[in-house]
Amino acid sequence: MAGHSALAGKKILLGISGSIAAYKAAVLARELMRRGAEVRVVMTGAATEFITPLTLATLTGHRVYSEFTESVHEGTWTNHVELGLWGDLLLVAPCTAETAAAFAHGTCTNLLQAVFLSARCPVAVAPAMDLDMYAHAATGANLALLADRGVQVLEPESGPLASGLEGKGRMMEPESIAAALEARFEAALPLRGVRALLTVGPTHEPVDAVRFLGNRSSGKMGFALCEALRDAGATVVAVCGPVSVPVPDGLDEVVHVETAREMHQAVVDRCHAADLFIGVAAVADVRPAASADHKLRRHELPSSIVLVPNPDVLAAAAAARRPGQCIGGFALDSGRDLGMGWEKLRAKGLDFIVYNTTADDGGAMGADAGELTLLTSDGNSHTFTLQAKRDAATALVAHLIPLLSSR
């Protein structure tokens, strides 16, 4: 499956100071955006002499900020505090010796310095300067002071410099900067290292070569949970039936099955390696005792169908659990009786169960929204109000993180 970057959805405030390396900022902005980040740019006056704000505004799709005053005549000003609050990270690349000194000593003579002093988000700087400037004790002391205060210093590289000298001082290449930021966000993900296995969608139990017993499950909720777990850092494997929605990017493995028995075998083969198993799929409880390998004609169709039980995928996973595994599933009801959810949780020996109901207007199978109630084996419960399934999945994962951490 296609990879998913930890930068996806992140808001990066890109600061550019006056260095010849400013021309690389265009490539850097594109690389950050290619990995899914939203980028806004703050430039010093000197930086605008090396690369135009128009170039960066065109690339990022946002206006570029460089002056405190937006319009002298109208009396409007750039809200540096708002900019400082917007970003998930402030990246200054290139960061000149002057800018590093200003950051270290708290001076505030341009908009970029004001944004730095106002920023509540993490800060990273990519120094760029000539060999002797970078080697100077004052520069070293300033960068060390910033590092001590928690600023990530992206070490410059060695090579030919604009002065004609050769040595350390070249700004780290844009691809390497983006990779370093990606690694930073990955390290902070709460479920990093967790292996999750989910079942998704319906199963189809064949009557003949074209007809089947099934249900209205689309796979929306299951894939929303896959995405939420992926975004929290987990490695995600999905065993999915015949879903009617696209498979998300960034999953470690996707196994396509059709019947409950195929889903059961796929889970048996993979469950032991998982730290977390969630049975989201609407697995058919029964199947026809016999099915034809060709299409039955109208006069050949049976007047009744003998049904036999399918394996209980969720119960089997719980029964075979290894120490430390967290096992949960979904319970769909047509009413509003949480007792049904509690009973299923206890009967199957689960750590948690997510109760949902077809009684919600627009909720449950095939819908874009749902109201969920999380029930846990310690007797606690939490209801997530009717909301988009992707939002509900994110909220649900946030509540599962402490449960996983306790194991």
Q: Which residues are catalytic?
A: 215
Contact 60, 29 (CB under 8 A): yes
Contact 26, 51 (CB under 8 A): yes
How far apart (Å, rounded) are the C-alpha atoms in residues 200 and 241? 6
Residue that is written with structure tokens 């036999």 in the block: 308
Amino acid at 168: K
305: burial class by Cβ within 10 Å (0-12, 13-18, 19+)? middle
Contact 378, 328 (CB under 8 A): no
Contacts of 403 (CB under 8 A, 6+ apart): 326, 351, 352, 376
Contacts of 221 (CB under 8 A, 6+ apart): 280, 330, 356, 370, 389, 392, 393
Amino acid at 224: A
For residue 239, the cross-strand partners are: 199, 255
Tell me the Cα Rg of the chain: 28
Contact 280, 218 (CB under 8 A): no
How far apart (Å, rounded) are the C-alpha atoms in residues 19 and 21? 5
Tell me 365's DSSP state. T
Tokens of 163: 């002065």
Q: How many CB atoms lie under 10 A from the CB of residue 178?
A: 25
Strands 195-200, 352-357: pairing is unpaired
Cis peptide before 94 (omega within 30 of 0): yes
